[in-house]
Amino acid sequence: MDTVATADFHHVYEPGFDTSRPPLLLLHGTGGDEHDLLGLGQTVAPGASLLSPRGQVLEGAMPRFFRRLAEGVFDEDDLRRRTHDLADFVAHARQRYGIAAPVAVGFSNGANIAASLLLLRPEVLVGAALLRAMSPFAKPPQADLAEKRVLILSGAADPIIPAQDAQRLAKTLTGNGASVDHRVLPAGHGLSQADIGLLKGWLLGA
């Protein structure tokens, strides 16, 4: 599948054949790209359209969706700006491809910007699956998340995401009205078969 650029995001769009499924917005982790999560998307939501952008920030040679000052310490001004850029990209891509509002499936850095999208531009997503996510803001903004379903899958042995950080994110999203299912799996930062099974089941209700 070729990569194209829309509103400055290199991305892949794969049209689906099952219109009962919402499209997936696939958001890769640090060092990934727009091709990384296509296989996961096809596995967990067969027939869904897939929209997969590449993060615009480079850390060395590694694409990311926003800058960080250190591991787990985010440049929140950059995060805000990049979140709006990504939200505008999704709106543009929806028009271009004629697709409904997507469910985000984000891994690690991609999960963190998906959480930021929920908080800053909730109209962009119908829901989000946040795989190995942490709270992106020290003081999270208020948002109306009443209609949003969120799945958070954390790894009990994740060396990058402290358990209390993922819990704080779940609490923030729940406090803003989202319907949050937070599971802690016997896994590290990488995804396991259990992640894939849970994600697939959760997406059937999306």
Catalytic residues: 108, 158, 189
Residue 2 in the binding site for ligand MLT (CB under 6 A): no
Residues forming a β-bridge with 68: 74
Q: Which stretch binds ligand MLT (CB under 6 A): 3-11, 18-26, 106-114, 193-201?
A: 106-114
Q: Which of residues 112-131 bind ligand MLT (CB under 6 A)?
A: 112
| Residues 88 and 127: beta-carbon distance below 8 Å | no
How far is it, in rounded angstroms, from Cα 91 to Cα 153? Answer: 27
Inter-axis angle of helices 109-120 and 76-97, to 10 degrees? 80
Residues forming a β-bridge with 149: 127, 179
Q: Please, which residue, 60 or 205, has the CB nearer to ligand MLT?
A: 60
Residue 83 in the binding site for ligand MLT (CB under 6 A): no
Number of residues located near ligand MLT, criterion CB under 6 A: 9
| Residues 44 and 26: beta-carbon distance below 8 Å | no
Residue 80 in the binding site for ligand MLT (CB under 6 A): no
Amino acid identity of residue 114, one-letter, is A
Residue 63 CB, shortest distance to ligand MLT, in Å, is 11
Residues forming a β-bridge with 53: 11
Q: Please, which residue, 68 or 84, has the CB nearer to ligand MLT?
A: 68
Residues near ligand MLT (CB under 6 A): 29-30, 68, 71-72, 108-109, 112, 160
